[in-house]
Amino acid sequence: MKRILVTGANGQLGSEIKELAGNYPNFEFIFTDIADFPLDKEQEITSNFKAIQPDIVINCAAYTAVDKAETDSVVADAINHLAIATLATLCHDSGAKLVHVSTDYVFDGTSPVAYKEDDQPNPKSVYGVTKLAGEIACLKNCPESIIIRTAWVYSEFGNNFVKTMLRLMSERDSLNVVNDQVGSPTYAADLAQVILTILDSNKWEPGIYHYSNEGEISWFDFAVAIKENAQKSCIVRGIPASNYPTPAERPAYSLLDKSKIKTVYGIEPIDYSVSLKIMMKRLGSE
């Protein structure tokens, strides 16, 4: 039986992997989070890894407070970069497989077409810089790793855009939402299923992959879809990002080309609108 160490197990993606774990009796899952597997402490990473002796590591943990990272760069780098370098070395030295989750923020958002895995990264935020450094360290220290870049992650677990919109739509008569940043949302449950499908396939093709749900929309479009699904009366207005300045610069265009993961692993991403309905139905039934 393969032993799988999941870091960041209480986050959106880790929580969705927990939900699916029972469907994979051939795997033994060890779920850890910051309390028992802190990624900002190198010695603890090493000692915990050696105690668990995993066959596979799914690294869902990350410093994801994008704006806060602009002034908290040391901690962001420790978690998103240095910890990954350590994990990758430990995996390589022990023969364990590593799946590391990364982000569309490694790109600058100026491409006119969906980003492919080998397109030149050019992050514009501290978060993006530290995540790219983590990717580089991962592939340097453990070339046999799989990295999955994703974008706009949401789930019924944790804090995210969908849950924030639902709360604000219940509190306000109108909302302004950025309409000139384009991408595709990712339901964490779908990404969790993709990762477990890869691990269960007995086919290990190292490298970088892109995954999100299908669709090309703005945050405004996403908010409107949320409003319609929840049947809210709140008025949603589109505004340019320049009217909503944030400490960290967001990519204006971060659509990910998923051709590679479709071809190599036969993954067929679901349209964002379908997954959003599933998530909101699950959220409403809790």
Assigned domain for 15 exists: yes
Assigned domain for 179 exists: no
Assigned domain for 152 exists: yes
Per residue of the chain (286 residues), give pLDDT as tens.
Answer: 999 999 999 999 999 999 999 999 999 999 999 999 999 999 999 999 999 999 999 999 999 999 999 999 999 999 999 999 999 999 999 999 999 999 999 999 999 999 999 999 999 999 999 999 999 999 999 999 999 999 999 999 999 999 999 999 999 999 999 999 999 999 999 999 999 999 999 899 999 999 999 999 999 999 999 999 999 999 999 999 999 899 999 999 999 999 999 999 999 999 999 999 999 999 985 5
| Per-residue pLDDT, 248 | 97
Assigned domain for 243 exists: no
| Per-residue pLDDT, 30 | 98
Task: Give residue-wise pLDDT tens across range 155-168.
Answer: 999 999 999 999 99
- Distance between CA 203 and CA 265 in Å, rounded? 8
- Distance between CA 30 and CA 54 in Å, rounded? 9
- Distance between CA 48 and CA 183 in Å, rounded? 37
Assigned domain for 10 exists: yes
Q: Strand, helix or coil at 70?
A: helix
- Distance between CA 252 and CA 250 in Å, rounded? 6
Assigned domain for 246 exists: no
Assigned domain for 238 exists: no
Domain count, the chain: 1
Task: Give residue-wise pLDDT tens across range 108-129.
Answer: 999 999 999 999 999 999 999 9
Q: Which of 218, 237, 243 is nearest to 168 (CA)?
A: 237
Query: pTM (2 decimals)?
Result: 0.96
Task: Give residue-wise pLDDT tens across range 76-101.
Answer: 999 999 999 999 999 999 999 999 99
Buried b (16+ CB within 10 A) or exposed e, 31-57: bbbbeebbbbeeeebeebbeeeebbbb
Range of the domain at 131: 2-160+185-214+255-270
Assigned domain for 139 exists: yes
Phi, psi torsion values for 92, nearest 5 degrees: -60, -45
What CATH code is carried by the domain that includes residue 85?
Answer: 3.40.50.720
Phi, psi torsion values for 15, nearest 5 degrees: -65, -35
Phi, psi torsion values for 138, nearest 5 degrees: -60, -50
Active site residues: 127
> 182 to each of 113, 203, 251, how far by Cα in Å?
11, 33, 8
| Polymer length of the chain | 286
- Distance between CA 76 and CA 64 in Å, rounded? 8
Q: What's at 25, amino acid-wise?
A: P
